[in-house]
Structure formats: C-alpha cells, structure tokens
Amino acid sequence: MLPVSVVIVTKNEEINIEDALKSVSDAQEIIVIDSFSADRTVEICGKYTDKVYQHEWQGFARQKQRAVDYAEGPWVLILDADERVTPGLKAEIIENVDNTDCSGFYMPRENYFIGKWIRHSGWWPDNTLRLFKKEKGHLEPREVHEKVVVEGKTGYLKNPLKHFTYRSVPDFLERTGRYSALAAREIRKKSGRAGPLSLTLRPLATFIKMYILRLGILDGKRGIMLALLYSHYTFLKYAKTWKKQD
C-alpha cells in the first residue's frame, strides 16, 4: 500500500482523471474535491474512492488546501488530474515516509508538451514539493502557481512524476487566458506595476531565457513553440496588470 493520503482537485477532467487515479489506486486514502464537473469526472472518481466532495471553486491554493484539510493520514501527496505517479516514484515514497526526519519532499516532473517529454527549456527536472507531513505543511495563498510551504527539513526524491500538460497549442492558449488574469491579480496584490517596458522587454527576456539560456533550442520545434507561447503569456499578464492600473 502507498502509505499516504492522495488529494486531487478536479473540474471536468474525465479525459485525465482515471489514469491519475490508477497510478495511486493502492493509496491508503484518496480524496477528491470536485468543482461541480459537468462531465463524468465524479462518476470515474467514485470507482476509486468514496471520498469525493463537491465545493465551489475557490482558487487553486484554497481548493487544494481544502483537500489537504480532509486528509486523515500523516503524509499527504498532492496530485493533479494530468499527472501520474510512476512505479519508481511510488517505491521511493514507500521507502522514505516511514524512515525520515524530513517534513516534505521535492520530486522531479517529466513535463510532456503535445505528447513529448521536454528535457530542456527549464522544464526538467522541475522539482516540485508535493509530498509532506500534514501537520508541517500548507498551501501558500497565491492566485496562481500555488506551492506548498513546509516547516522543517526537506529532501529530494529521484524518480519522476509524469505530467501530461498542454496537449495542443489551442489547449495552451485557452489556459493562458485564465492563468494570465490570475497572474496579473497576483502582481497587483504585491504592489507590482506594469508599463510599456514590461510589455516589451519582459516577453523578450522570457524567450531568451527559455530558448537560449535554458537550451530550449535542443527541444526542436516544441522548444521554439514553448518559448514563443510563454513570451505571449508574459505579455498578457503584464498587459492585464497595466490595464487595471489607475
């Protein structure tokens, strides 16, 4: 048995959710917080757990913290619907949680874009803290790019979490609209401002960082596509910040 409480938040994830749940089907507990999906998400989740709760969407950090609060086990693993726990990662988790002085663990993510693992562009190893002691960790209250904050020592696991993100360019662009609005709100909350230089230099810097400094050029056509798409995202979030300024 995987000795952790797995928590997942969902909304209309019938395409992704079953493979995610299969990858952790032997977990001691699986908790799903669903935001009133209109597809078969809840039905599919019910095949793997009886702990499926529905709540109105409160934002990524708040929704995931709500899921964590439901957890009954001492260790929590946050999993997204488009992620999969690999057998190697599962074995490493089992090996570590009962024999460690760490309060949390980072794990590398294999990020896939249009079906291919991206090995450069700043997408690997993409270490993210997802496994932690419930009493020692919480979700930082942010509008977007939520993260876990833990009290105490953290360690690093070696085996990857697979992340099947952005199945197509239209998929990326659709989510970019939502994420850029949230990112702009986060910038404004931190008293950040934007102007013409932000709209020109920051997107350019994003492209140079991903495609040249982080070797996106080695990712072939997907590398240049990602650099351009993230430059577009950078432009949007600062344009939306500027638009809301007095």
What is the DSSP track for 71-98?
--SSEEEE--TTEEE-HHHHHHHHHHHT
Which residue spans of the chain are classified as CATH 3.90.550.10? Answer: 2-165
**How far apart, in whole angstroms, are the C-alpha atoms of residue 128 and residue 106?**
5
Residue 229 belongs to what H/E stretch?
Answer: helix 220-244
Residue 120 has a pLDDT of 98
- What was the pLDDT predicted at 246? 61
Q: Among candidates 214, 246, 14, 221, which has minimal Cα distance to 120? A: 214
- Residue 129, both tokens: 């803290």
The domain at 2-165 falls in which architecture?
Answer: Alpha-Beta Complex (3.90)
Residue ranges, the chain, pLDDT below 70: 246
Residue 189 is predicted with a pLDDT of 83
Strands 109-113 and 148-150: unpaired
Reported pTM: 0.94
> Using one digit for the tens of pLDDT, what is the confidence trace for 186-233?
888 887 788 899 999 999 999 999 999 999 999 999 999 999 999 999
In this prediction, residue 117 carries a pLDDT of: 98
* Lateral strand order in the sheet of 128-133: 52-54, 27-34, 2-10, 75-78, 128-133, 104-107, 154-156
